[in-house]
Amino acid sequence: MKFNKLNIIVFIGLLAIIGVITMQLVMLKQAFMFERKEFGEKIHFALQDVVDKIYRDNDSELPVTTPIKKVSDDYYVVNVDDVFEADILEYYLRTEFQKVKLDIDYEYSIYNCASDEMMYGNYINATGSEVKNDIAKCENCFTKKEGLIYYFAIRFPHLHYNYIASLQQYWIYTGVLFLVLVIYVYSVFTLLKQKRYTELQKDFINNMTHEFKTPLSSILIASNYAVKQDAIEKDPKLNKYLQIIIQQSNKLNQHIERILNVAKTDADLMVLEKQEINLVETLDLVKDNASLKYPTAIIQLDSTKDKYTIAADEFHFYNIAYNIVENAIKYGNDIPEVDINIKECAKHLELQFTDNGSGIPASHLEYVFDRFYRVPRENKKEIEGFGIGLFYVKKICELHEWKIKIKNNDDKGITITIAIPNSSLL
């Protein structure tokens, strides 16, 4: 398995959650043991007080050894070793259990030496009242203890349920942590699946665009050769059709190049070839080429200096500048106007591209740099392009560590601003 940043983050997150859950389970176990010990001590103290009162009533001396024998957590045998009455015993049990706030169900049985059997007493619920339901009785749960004559046994049928109920808060915390773990694991699997689909999509785009470029290059070569032939030059219709083929092929080639560039930036395959470029000269070239393609557009370049030298990739910088200008012309008025301004600020150099279009609705403004996002246009029958132009622009700016933002103007149109830090100036 290849360890990239995503895998490391997922692994660390999983370890952290498992560690928290493990600590919670350890705390839950410790709390359970504490509750078990506390219940056991309360039962022992209450039963010891019951024995003390029986001995006090009989004016007998207390035995040296403890008369209480713990058979299990929920079963005790108490060797009174002196005569006692069943009604008195039940009264003392209720009283002493209430003193230590032992609010749990219990039942007791007394050994009858005449019949040599355990005589069932009563089932007392947590409130201290007697239960008259025969279903609550468990006479067979009490067994004789050999060698004892005056003793009784007491059983707590729901003691383990009381342990669980008393730890309700811990169980809730543990349940929440397990839920977080399940959500985390599900999110990780969903993320990895999405990542795999994205990689498949990138491979598909790369393969398809390369498959398109090969026949497209052949079409362009053949068309450029054919348009120069005498027979074609003399036939206006054939010449016009070939010019259309060449023009549309070049347009299709530009779209394919954009898709390839976006795919490369997503796959981190794009490497910038930074060099010294004259910012004003490059923007002036963008202006001239856009003016040739769109003769009706009015494009102006304003700069306080004739030369600003920056370290940037000339090819991609030209592409993003031309992309912004072309978008401004496409979505502008009947006579589109684009102003390119270069402004010096304290910590950076600003490139502002301002148009006179209809602007972008505020609800769509924050999404224009997202991949494949296209703003609906009421005045356009069809939305042009693939929605990757501004996404490509933002990616190139991020690779250069530049900042880009967009806003609607107060009167009309939008302004796209690229902030180039002073560290990029030469």
pLDDT class for 137, splitting at 50, 70, 90? low
pLDDT class for 312, splitting at 50, 70, 90? very high
Burial class (CB in 10 A: 0-12, 13-18, 19+), 45: middle
pLDDT class for 415, splitting at 50, 70, 90? very high
The dihedrals phi and psi of 416, each to the nearest 5 degrees, come to -105, 125
**What single letter denotes the amino acid at residue 204?**
F
Domain boundaries, the chain: 7-166, 198-266, 274-424
Distance CA 171, CA 251 (A): 65
Report, at the CATH architecture level, how domain 274-424 is classified.
2-Layer Sandwich (3.30)
DSSP codes, 321-365: HHHHHHHHHHTS-SS-EEEEEEEE-SSEEEEEEEE-S----HHHH
End-to-end Cα separation, the chain, in angstroms: 44
Burial class (CB in 10 A: 0-12, 13-18, 19+), 33: exposed
Whole-model pTM?
A: 0.48
Q: Encoding tokens for residue 205?
A: 């785009």
Spatial CA neighbour of 263 closest among 394, 393, 392, 398: 392
What is the mean pLDDT of the segment spanning 333-359?
89
CA distances from 75 to 105, 331, 338 (A): 12, 86, 92
Q: Encoding tokens for residue 70?
A: 């713990």
Distance CA 368, CA 394 (A): 10
User: What is the tens place of the pLDDT at every residue in 51-100?
Assistant: 889 888 888 888 878 888 888 888 899 888 888 888 888 888 888 888 88
At residue 314, the pLDDT reads 86
Distance CA 150, CA 7 (A): 70
User: What is the tens place of the pLDDT at every residue in 179-235?
Assistant: 888 888 888 888 888 878 777 777 776 676 667 777 877 888 888 888 888 888 888
